[in-house]
Amino acid sequence: MTQQKALIGKRVFDGSGWHEDAAVIFEGGKITGILPVDLLSADMETIEGGEIIAPGFIDLQVNGGGGVLLNEEPTVEGIATICAAHAKFGTTALLPTLITDTFEITSRTVAAGIEAKKQGIAGFLGLHLEGPHLSLARKGAHDPALIRPMEEHDLELILSCGEALDALMVTIAPESVSPEQVNTLARAAITVSLGHTEASYDTARLYATAGARTVTHLFNAMSPLGHREPGMVGAALDTRNLHAGLIADGIHVHPAAMAAALRAKNGPGKIFLVTDAMSPIGTDMTSFTLNGREILRHDGRLTLADGTLAGADIDMAACVRLVHETLELPLEEALRMASAYPSDAVQIADKKGSLKPGFDADFVVLDASLHPQSTWIGGVSVYQA
């Protein structure tokens, strides 16, 4: 029989409100409640947490970390390394993300993801397949030679792993995928995300009706908001059921544009934080390779030789600090953008993203400056500063 444990914090944010001088109670990998410290029973094992305890961060777009890029190491070991690297920054659940690649590499990634799930790799939530079914006009750093329309064998591969994973996200462009294919994926509970596209406002809305649920890295690699043609950006903000990921590094999107988007978003769909992190996170690497092309790391940017942005050099805790400090969002809203909102976007809000009884015991302990001091996944400490 497992013993209840209590992680004590000066302040505990449960996803909705604050508890002062309280403890998160957990047992068997699940949260059983939150109690004031003076109501803890004497026989309960207590653990000193720190200044702030919050729901663990959930990152739905993570290309790499710890020196590993998923495209270059589509294995269980690669996935485990990426998850461990991001745990140091408060991320307790993530979608390792495969950037546009060959069908062979995609197949190997899917197989590795299914096996990682079976092995219970800490922090592994599922996969995000970002391409290859995108628009050449909005390719970004994706290899144009590998971008292509979705065919039947692609659809079958994606459907084959949908039930095996807790979450599966697929970024597609209407230019390369039909509404019928989107509907097939959506009916299988796969999160279809619109991105790397020149789609018009009306086309994007059509695909949302077909079942698309999210938008990949809002503003980047998509048709912009215009006063006569609102484009993909306008559709993302105006369509109630669309959620949207946002790379909050201050480089991919100007803070003023972030703030304007947050004010404009029509709900219940929300804007959530993603890192779009690459292999250098958690390392001192100055360059790495993607699809045979060198990516350079300098001044907080990751770029191809021609200056094209190629992923981001930021962690989730840093994203939270930026939207809280630079955009002056309330801390609780910044934390929700990194936990509750992404959990809702991929339909796991009944078990992750908040500190509620019955939810997974995933939490991060932050100091007063919002730097992670410890990270817990399933009630197990996976990182201590």
Active-site amino acid positions = 276
Q: Which residues pair with residue 171 across a beta bridge?
A: 130, 193
What is the rounded distance in angstroms from the CA atom of residue 98 to the CA atom of residue 243?
Answer: 20
What is the rounded distance in angstroms from the CA atom of residue 57 to the CA atom of residue 355?
Answer: 12
Cα four-point dihedral sign 336, 339, 343, 348: negative
* Strand ordering across the sheet containing 57-62: 57-62, 91-99, 126-130, 167-172, 191-194, 214-215, 243-247, 271-274
What is the rounded distance in angstroms from the CA atom of residue 129 to the CA atom of residue 167?
Answer: 11
DSSP reduced 3-state for 182:
helix
| CB within 8 Å of 337: residues ≥ 6 apart | 246, 270, 271, 272, 273, 320, 323, 329
Q: Which residues pair with residue 309 across a beta bridge?
A: 303
